[in-house]
Each structure stands twice: as C-alpha cells, then as structure tokens.
Structure 1
Amino acid sequence: MHLLLPLTLLFLAFFSFQHEAIDYTSMVFPVNKHTDAAKPLYSMTLMTAYVNVQWHAKFLIDIEGPFSWHDCVLVWNSLPKSSCPNNKLCAGPISCEEFECTEVRTSYSYDSPSCPPINNSSTLPGWGYCTCPVNVMNPVNGKCTQSELNVDRFAANSSDGRNSFLAYHGINLHAACAPSSSFQSFPKNVSGVMAFSASRYALPAYYYQSWIKTSLALCLPSTTSSPGVLFFGEGPFYLLPHSDVDLRSLLSYTPLLKRPDSFSYYIGVNAIVIKQRSFEVVENTTARLSTTEPYTMLKTDLYHWVVRRMSMVTKRMPLATPVAPFSLCYRMFFNNGTLVDLSVPDIDFSLQDGKNWTITRDNSIKHVTKDVACLAFVDGGAKTEQAIVIGTFQMMDNFLLFDLENSTFGFSSSLLKMNTSCSNFNFTNSFETYPL
C-alpha cells in the first residue's frame, strides 16, 4: 500500500489544480457495444489502480446488479510487492467478521436457487482472518459463481459535458473478486460487471461529494465501431454537432420507481399504442429497465397484441420466415440497388403521467440479415412476474437520464431524428497516460 499513497496524493493534487480551471460537472466513461457473446452487451471503460499494475478495464454495465465484481485476486499485504502475481489485478480483502460482509450477504446479494451455499472457511496466508465469500450472477449465461468481497479503487475522467479531461476522479467501492474462469462467456477484453442499481453497494451510492450529483446519463451506441457515453453527474450534456444544445432540454420526464424487493429501476406504463390503437395494461403495471437484456420482453398477452397490431398495419409488406427469438419478420427489398427502409409505425409506451416514450423504426426493427428484418420484441412468457422489461435495443441512440436524487427518469426517443447519435461525444482527451 506504500506505493499507492504517493500516487494517490499526486492524483489528488493534479485533480484539485485542474478543478480550479475548468468547471467539471460529471465523470465520463466511453461505452462500447459487444456482439461477440451469446447476446449483445455494453461495457464501460475505466482505470484501475492496484498494488503493482494499473490499466484500463472494461466492465459490463448492469443497472440491476447489487454490487460490482471483476477478475482479480485478494492480497492482504502488499509487501513484498511480489505477493501480487504479475499481470493480475489485486485487491484488499474484507473480513467475514466485518459489518459489510454480513450486510452484503443478507440484504444486498445476488439471489438465485442455483447459487452455492456460503461458508467462511477461506483464509489468506498470514492474514489470520476468514475472507468474505459472496455469490455473483453471470449476466451472460445466468450461472452463479462464488467470489470474495473486497475494497477496490478505480478512476474516471472528468467532464464539463462537452469534453473529457485528464482530471481523474477516484472511486473507492466494495466489489468482489471472481476467478478468471467466470469471464470466459463474456465479450472479449471485458473482465467485470459494474453495478449502477439502487443498491447501497452499487456505484451510485458511493458518490457523496457536493460537486457530483447522483445522476446517471446513459447513451448506448448502435454500432461496435464507435463508443457511446455514460456520464455520472448533473450535466449539462452535449453531443456533436450540436455543441450548443444541452441534451437535458430534449428530455421528457416520468417518475423513476423502485420496489422494496428489487434493486432495479422501473417506470409506470398505462398502455402500448401503435397507430392510434392501444393495449391497456393492468393498473399499476411497471416496466423494468435493463442493460443486460438485449430486446424488450413483453408478457405473452401483450406481446401477441403488439405482433398482431404490427402485422395489421404492415400487411402490405412482404413477410419473411421468422428468425429466433423473433416471430414477425419482413423481407427487405431494394430499389435500383438501394435498400428501401421499412415503413413501420412508431410504438409508444404511454406512461402513467401522460408522457409517451416513442420507439421509432430504428429501435423497433432489427436487421438480422441482408434480406430480413424483424420486430425486435420478444415473448417473455405467460407466467412472468414482470409484464414489460425494456431492453438495450430500444435504448440505443436514446439519451436516458436517471436522476437518482429526485427519482425521475428522462428520455429523448431516437437521437437520429436530431442528426446526432450516442457515438458523437468528444472523447479526444480521454484516458491518456497520467499517474493515478
């Protein structure tokens, strides 16, 4: 730990100097789309700081997970330096006797019947205390794995909403070390999960500085070639080429709801509307927001209505053989060698306070092959507890603001209509080398 102290002081001095010159309002992270796993997923990039190594790491974004976890090993004593294996990230353990261990296990843990029982038999050589085993749930394959609770340190670039700067902001949080084998199903070069849920052990709960407001702004890219952006802070927020338009001015707002038995975020939905016809959902229905589900899932009766209604209003369009997991697909056609866009109506989520979240063609139709495009909603089953789960395909190129202090959710609909996208943030200065 003696190596981290001077580096931390250097980081704080640099940060304080830069903060006087520029009005930082948020922290900023690049967001990458991954299509090389079992389902499309999104990661954020941040800097790690450990005993003998420092690098940039990619973590899956999970707005439902109770705490963060990643590929690392526990080392109770950083002296000698060789106690941390080469090319491994090392972190300090939490004892099974500490309050945080008991609280995470009893109230803030991943919960699944597939998880193994927890015991305190594990110890580190020379430490004298048992470690704190906790279970984590793999969002790719759904498997439960045992990990070890620890305290981690990360860093993020600061932002004024327009640019990313080399003024790093340190992040200390409880996380868990999982074995490298836990990440074999993850996208390439992604080695962790960062939790942004309502849990007290998710990342938002660790922000108490007066200049950082607990607002999460998320803009998922639709392409793997250019990053989107995640802000943590109050804004303003800008995307090129509209450097004078604060994205907050484009948002509609609805209450951000929480449930006592869940760390997820919800919004209230009254109906789904397609071309002036609506399906009224059961009173007090909520839609869960998810960054690990690729497509919006609807309870069977609601899903069948959406498919029937969309089939009716697009009955002149040629159908194609369905491609799993979708059941309504269209045959693409070309005019003089140019692909003709499908003419499909918008889908509106009519929210409880009278606002509409409009899902345009870009977020409702997925091109699965050169010749076939499908309605990108899936059947969640007749017995599912959650009637609506809004997935990432419907979030792409939408600017979403989770105002956690005021419990409101802001949404823009597709930014493509405004001649911009989530890939248009200026990351020119991001993650250049500077000691943490």
Structure 2
Amino acid sequence: MSPHGSSSPVLPLLVLSLLLLSPPGTFAGGDGRPPSKPIVTPISKDGATSLYTIPVKGGAPLVLDLAGPLVCQPGSPDPCCACTAYSYNPPSGFWRFRHRGQRGSGDLTRTPLSANATDGRNPPFPVCFPAYAACAPNGLLASLPAGAAGVAGLSRQPLSLPSQVASRLKVASPFELQASPPVELAEGLRQNALPLLVNPKNNGAYYIRVHGIAVNQARVPVPAGAFDLDRRQGTGGVVLSTVTRLTTLRSDIFSPLINAFDAATSGIPRRKPMPPYDLCYEASAFGSTRLGPGVANVDLMLDGGRNWTLPGASSLVQVDERTLCFAFQNMGVGATVANSPAVIVGTHPMEDNLVLFDLEKGTVGISGLLRRMRINCGNFNFAMGSS
C-alpha cells in the first residue's frame, strides 16, 4: 500500500464486483444500443483509509457505503433543484454512531455516472446513465480517499445507487470467474441465499440472522439472544458494513470470542497488542495455506445450519512483517446507543468473497473465501470485448 494514500491496485484487492442491475432499454450504451444487461464495475481499496471505491463518476472514485441512503458529492447548490437532501460522511465515525456523525444539507441534483454492461463473463460495452445525488458541503467529505468524488450509498433506500439503477430489472445475471474450467457463482448463491432482516429504525442497512459463533467448531458461550435484532428499539442484530474495516462486536460477544480464540491458539507465540488490536501473534509461527495463516477457523452460524467460515486470511490481519493480529474489535463504551447493532461485519472478512444482494427478494448470498476454489475476485474479466 502506498504511504501517500493512493488507491491500491484493483484486481488483488477486490471485495466483490458490483453488479448494478439496469432495467432493459433504460440507459443508452456508448454505441447507441440500449443495454439489456446488468452493469459491472471493479472495486478498489484505498491504502490510507481502507475504504473501498468504484470508478463510476467520470473515472473518479465514489466511496462505497452499504448502509448509505443516496449518492452524495461535493459541489455548489444547483439553482434548478427544488428539493433538499441530507448528505453524510461515512468515515466520520463507526457505523453505530452514524446518527451522531457529520451531516449536512444540500440540493438534490442529477449527476452523470458510467460503467460497463456485462453478460456475467466480460463487459462488452460502456453505459452512461444519470443518477440523483446530494450536493454536499466540501468540508463534509474531506476525510474521503484522495481524489474521491463523493459517496455511493448502496442501501435499500429509494435514492441509493442500486435502487435507482435496478428498480425494474427482472432478469438474473450469471457471474463467471476465469479459471480452468470457468467458475459460475451467482446461480448457486441465489439458490442458497440468506434472508435479509429489516431494521425499522435503519431500514436501508443489510442485516443477516446469526445464531451463534464458533471457534475450531466449538460454539462460543455467549448470552442467549445476543445476536438478536430488537426491531422495536432498532438495536442488536448483525449488519454488513463497507465503512468499517474490522468486524466489531458488542462486549458480551467479543469477550467470550477472543477468550475462545486465545485458548485455541495457546501454543502460538504472542506479540505485544497493537491498538486497536487486542490479541497479536508472532507471524513467523504460523504455517502458510492458500486460506491464509494456518489457524483455528471462526464460524458465524447462519440460517439452515450453514456457516460463514472465516479462516486465517479473514480472522487475522497483517500489521507489520513480524505481527499478525486478531481481526475483531470490541465496541467498548457506548455500544448500546440507539440503532447500535450487536455485530458489524467489516470489510476485512468480506475481501475475496462474492456477496450477491437481491433487492427485490430481500436476500443475500455469500460465497465464503474464494481461495477455497483456487480463484479470487481478480479472476473476473474486466477487459472490454464482445459477447
């Protein structure tokens, strides 16, 4: 990663490839043909902020925020606008404090965006399309990655980017990664998708139901109902976030989890904890596997007896050449404020997973670490070509 905060290379650091499903015939392609295909864009990770961006604003990046309600960009108010929108700064604090974070008001305007159509295998032609966006005060977005043109909200709210682009599409798309033979992932994820939960207090965010957590296949003893979403209060539950790097857990879940992981790794030499990490190890003590450092798996226990397995590449983070640390964080004091989830699943465990959201059906499919199949998100073919 660059010490100057420039974006890291795209392909090795993809979280997923964003499929914004466009209504057939709605947007004109670069060659004049109306695309009846989804559109696709690569996702890059910024080295300085660990935020993820997509290059849809004239090639300039927009920061991804799964819970964000709309697209917001810096700029002067448009005198032709007739309504006001409230923009926000996702990096201004942890997700649970979004309602306390930096906010501002600005006119709602239309902005040009562009991406490439896809048949699920490659992007055959470009697509340009307008989207509604909030004009945010320049200072509000000052903490975004260098060169970022704003924020792309990906929530289920009506003005989020996928809602604007995908509101009428009824055609499913494949998603094929280059391998020998090629690997198609989307259909399997659709057939085994998880239901998304709705938090009435934050109905744009993506919550999943988690029944428990395990280390080395042994269930961690957490209080009954610790992962439950209280819909009346808007608290609890497990939410996916692209503006929080580490998976962050309420103290009653974090404490037994780190104790269980500590016990499962008792034979591995420790290093001094390095905030915000509470448990760190001598990196050279781990064996190397294609799933990262050889260490006890952490499993999120999901509906239908399924697990989201987090091996070493997802449960540990490299801090420096000598140090690997446990990639989970304690929410600490103030974790019971309004709208606070029990668990925020951050970007680190989602890296090199295909995460497929179906806004119409209200489901999400999660592939698990693609390295298990000897592929990664960089295997998608972003080269322009005909289909």
- State the TM-score, normalizing by the size of structure 1: 0.70
Q: Map 1:403-422 to 2 at 5 A.
A: 403-422=358-377
Distance verdict in 2 for CA 1:14–1:320, change over 3 Å: closer
Between the aligned partners of 1:378 and 1:208, the Cα distance in structure 2 is 35
Between the aligned partners of 2:271 and 2:250, the Cα distance in structure 1 is 24
| Paired position in structure 2 for 1:108 | none
Q: Map 1:255-274 to 2 at 5 A.
A: 255-262=195-202, 263-274=204-215
| Paired position in structure 2 for 1:192 | 150
SS at match of 1:207: helix
The amino acid that maps onto 1:387 is A
| Paired position in structure 2 for 1:357 | 308
| Paired position in structure 2 for 1:153 | 112
Q: Conserved in 1, the CA contact under 8 Å of 2:28 and 2:34?
A: no
The amino acid that maps onto 1:363 is S
Q: Conserved in 1, the CA contact under 8 Å of 2:247 and 2:345?
A: yes
The amino acid that maps onto 2:139 is S
Q: Conserved in 1, the CA contact under 8 Å of 2:217 and 2:299?
A: no
Structure 1 gap segments, 5+ residues each? 1-10, 48-54, 77-92, 96-100, 102-131, 214-232, 431-436
Q: Conserved in 1, the CA contact under 8 Å of 2:177 and 2:377?
A: yes
Q: Conserved in 1, the CA contact under 8 Å of 2:268 and 2:285?
A: no
Deviations 1:81-106 (A, max 9, x none): xxxxxxxxxxxx421xxxxx3xxxxx
The percentage of aligned residue pairs carrying the same residue is: 30
After TM superposition, give the deviation of residue 390 of structure 1 in Å: 0.5
Between the aligned partners of 1:272 and 1:180, the Cα distance in structure 2 is 42
Distance verdict in 2 for CA 1:389–1:366, change over 3 Å: same
In structure 2, which of residues 123, 140, 150 is the aligned counterpart of residue 182 of structure 1? 140
Question: Which sits farther off after the overlay, 295-304 or 247-256?
Answer: 247-256
| Paired position in structure 2 for 1:43 | 53
SS at match of 2:379: coil
| Paired position in structure 2 for 1:64 | 67
User: How many residues are matched?
Assistant: 333
Mapped pair 1:136 → 2:136:
no
After TM superposition, give the deviation of residue 266 of structure 1 in Å: 0.4
Between the aligned partners of 1:167 and 1:146, the Cα distance in structure 2 is 33
| Paired position in structure 1 for 2:19 | none
Between the aligned partners of 1:334 and 1:302, the Cα distance in structure 2 is 27
After TM superposition, give the deviation of residue 75 of structure 1 in Å: 4.2
SS at match of 1:140: helix
Larger Rg: 1
SS at match of 1:197: coil
Q: Conserved in 2, the CA contact under 8 Å of 1:158 and 1:169?
A: no
Between the aligned partners of 1:281 and 1:69, the Cα distance in structure 2 is 40
Between the aligned partners of 1:412 and 1:186, the Cα distance in structure 2 is 29
After TM superposition, give the deviation of residue 394 of structure 1 in Å: 0.9
Q: Conserved in 2, the CA contact under 8 Å of 1:25 and 1:234?
A: no
| Paired position in structure 2 for 1:235 | 173
After TM superposition, give the deviation of residue 12 of structure 1 in Å: 3.0
SS at match of 1:362: helix
The amino acid that maps onto 1:94 is C
Distance verdict in 2 for CA 1:71–1:156, change over 3 Å: same
Q: Conserved in 2, the CA contact under 8 Å of 1:269 and 1:281?
A: no
More strand per residue: 1 or 2? 1
Mapped pair 1:307 → 2:317:
no
The amino acid that maps onto 1:73 is S
SS at match of 2:33: helix
Q: Conserved in 1, the CA contact under 8 Å of 2:55 and 2:62?
A: yes
Deviations 1:22-66 (A, max 9, x none): xx53100111101213xx11001114xxxxxxx322101111011
